Amino acid sequence: MGKIILSAAFALFLFGGALACLRFGWRIGKRRFQTEGEVGQSGLGAIEGAIFGLMGLLIAFTFTGAATRFHERRDLSTSRLMASRQHPPLAVFLMLGLLVLLSSLMAGIGMAKAEKQSPLHLFGFAAIMSLSFYLILDIEYPRLGLVRIDSFDQALVELRASMN
């Protein structure tokens, strides 16, 4: 139960952090836009594209790996030792969280030309990023979260009982 609460807490932290970074980036970009004009924003598109691309790749690879391990655990749910050794290192999750926050900062800077920030875009971006991260963690720990493999465990218990 502790890991699922930790996953949810981290997703909520990312949601709040993404909102804060979007707002902070918007303020930085607004100030920069007022002092330097359009010239201050030139050349940033490549950097933003690289950061968003890296974040997308990291989310895709992490999600794909988690989904693959989920299916392997479902098929081999009795092999807990194998499943526990296959988790990505904590550094991957920390890097993913840092990229979410950095991407939020960059997106906020990119929205600086607007007088007001769009609440739909703010909450949408933060929600999608934090929910994606939560889903990855939930699939990584299928006995603890919303995505469960308990029915497969039960099937093995019943099979074992029928062998006696």
Domain edges within the chain: 2-163
Amino acid 16: pLDDT: 94
Rounded Cα distance between 22 and 5, Å, is 25
The model's pLDDT over 28-69, given as tens digits with 9 standing for 90+, comes to: 888 888 888 777 666 677 777 878 887 888 888 887 877 777
Rounded Cα distance between 95 and 64, Å, is 17
The model's pLDDT over 58-105, given as tens digits with 9 standing for 90+, comes to: 888 887 877 777 767 666 655 554 555 567 777 888 888 888 898 888
* Residue length of the chain: 164
Q: Check residue 43 and give left, alpha or beta (phi > 0: left; psi -120 to 50: alpha).
A: left
User: Within a 10 A sphere around the Cβ of 66, how many other Cβ atoms?
Assistant: 22
